[in-house]
Amino acid sequence: MSPESTPSGRLGAPLAGGPPFDLNPGENRTVIWPIDTTGLAPLSTVSARVLSVVTNGSYLFENEPARAYVGAASPNKNIDGLFQDWAGATADSDLSPVRRASLDIKNSDGSVVGSDVYLYMKFGGTPLEGTPAPRRQARQQAPGGGGGGTSGSGTPPGRLVGYDYIRFFLRTDDTASGGIDVNGLLVDRYVELRGRERQVRSAAVYRWTGSSWQWEAPLTWAFGDVEVEVRASLPNATFRSSQIVGMTVDWMGVVDSASAQPTRAATRGAHGPVVLDISGQWYLRDTPPSDQMGCTVNRKAERTQGSSNKSVTLTGNESACWDVDDTSGQTVPAGDWQSVLDIYSSSPSDTTYNVIFQIWDKTNHQVVTTIGSCTGVSNYGNDQTCTIYSVGSQTIASDQVVRLRVERAGGGGTVRIDYDSGTSAGDSRLFLAIPEFHDVAFPVTLGATAVLAIAWMRRRKPAS
């Protein structure tokens, strides 16, 4: 075993139970090494990690480096991965269970120091772990003027891992006008970390320009086992009674969110968070829309979730549509559009359906633009997705709406869509403008340790 410490602290012999030793598959062991911090300044940090293991079997280093302060913790805000400056962060009480622990927000907080904003979130599990994303065999099409899908194939599905997102929406100045409504808060900036398998793939802060989100600055961040802290330097922002909304989401649309809360300077306040929903998510409801033309069944998609399961069954060439009235007269920012349907068939082996995103003209009762589609889909069950990637910014006129159209395409069976339910069975929904920004690599600022408890994941049997 080869441990390493940084910066210039000298690693001593392990206090007890040091190597060599044997580990069985799945077994964990914690070993404590002291570090000589002579010459290191008080309040600085040190860290240590295991570099390698001498073994003939496979192994994985799963945990973050062990970290600690030299002497006492710094009284100032720091991005060091130790999180001791976030004591008293606001707790999040969920009204309903979050389906993934890694997206379950337990605590969140924010602080402004000069032109820097510091943000914090604690989770019920490992952040940015990602989720397996099934490869769809549906052929996705994107006619001119819309976004692009990717074509599927008949080959066996491979393993994909969907991204997880950690987002902080900010209202930097409570006297400023304008912004985007996120859970009742008009925000002008948002901070996003996107990644999977504990690796950050992009990290940045974005500013609302009045018509679209624009990249503003990179981030500095640090992760713990269940925590993350972020710093964004915003010299062009005016901070006055600033507020934040923290959110988590994955490719399936599993979301947790806390209510708006003030950022703090020197004092801490208690704020009762509630579970809300992600900006850009609408549930399929059983409410008739203002324009009931163009489909066999016409309904609305709304931000609030229903409470009583409904279903619509399609036969022949029938279709069901859901209009997002909230989009009338609005601009939908660039990003991915996605439907998540609880959909079933009486004969799934030979029955197909199409999922189509449209912009619908309510006055002339016609399609203005087809954004994209998944056609000939034969996948059924809970949470079946159709994603239209990289859709450009869409300006929706006051007499237009975004419409989700589901139509039976062919085969010998019926197609049934369950929706308007308050549970995971029957909570069909859609998302608009899920950002998928270019992968960007930024340096990670890590903290460290004086007496270190280093835990690692040890030898595993190779998969048979």
Express each pLDDT in 240-260 by its tens digit.
888 888 888 887 665 777 766
- Evaluate the CA torsion angle 358, 362, 367, 369 in order and state its sign: negative
Question: Which helix (H) or strand (E) is 227 found in, with range?
Answer: strand 227-233
Does residue 167 contact residue 246 with C-beta atoms inside 8 Å? yes
* 306-358 tens-digit pLDDT: 888 999 999 999 999 999 998 888 878 777 788 989 999 999 999 999 999 99
Is the separation of the CB atoms in 353 and 408 below 8 Å? yes
**Sequence ranges of the domains in the chain:** 2-74+446-457, 84-134+158-262, 281-434
Q: CB-based contacts of 217: which residues, under 8 Å, 6+ apart?
A: 204, 205, 232, 233, 234
CB count, 10 Å around CB of 334? 17
Cβ-contact 71, 43 below 8 angstroms? yes
Residues 6+ apart with CB under 8 A from 87: none
Task: Decide whether 84-134+158-262 matches 281-434 in CATH topology.
Answer: no
Tokens at 402, concatenated: 């975004």
* Gyration radius of the chain over CA positions: 25
Tokens of 197: 């398998």
Fold of 84-134+158-262: Immunoglobulin-like (2.60.40)
Per-residue pLDDT of the chain (464 residues; tens, 9 = 90+): 455 555 555 677 777 767 777 777 777 777 777 777 777 777 677 777 777 777 777 666 666 677 777 776 666 788 888 888 888 788 887 767 787 888 899 998 988 888 899 999 999 998 998 876 544 444 444 444 444 333 333 333 334 457 889 999 998 888 888 788 877 788 899 899 988 888 888 888 888 888 777 888 889 999 888 999 999 999 888 888 888 888 888 876 657 777 666 665 432 222 222 222 223 678 899 999 888 899 999 999 997 888 889 999 999 999 999 999 988 888 787 777 889 899 999 999 999 999 999 999 999 999 999 999 999 999 999 889 898 877 887 889 999 999 999 999 999 999 999 999 877 788 898 888 644 322 222 222 222 222 333 333 333 333 33
Rounded to whole angstroms, the Cα distance separating 398 from 275 reads 31
- Give the whole-angstrom CA distance, residue 156 versus residue 444: 37
CATH fit for domain 281-434, picks 3.40.50.360, 3.40.50.300, 3.40.80.10, 2.60.120.260: 2.60.120.260
* DSSP β-bridge partners for residue 322: 299, 404
Sequence-ordered strand ranges (E) for 53-156: 66-69, 90-91, 105-113, 116-123, 131-134, 139-141
Closest CA to 208 of 331, 112, 324, 392: 331
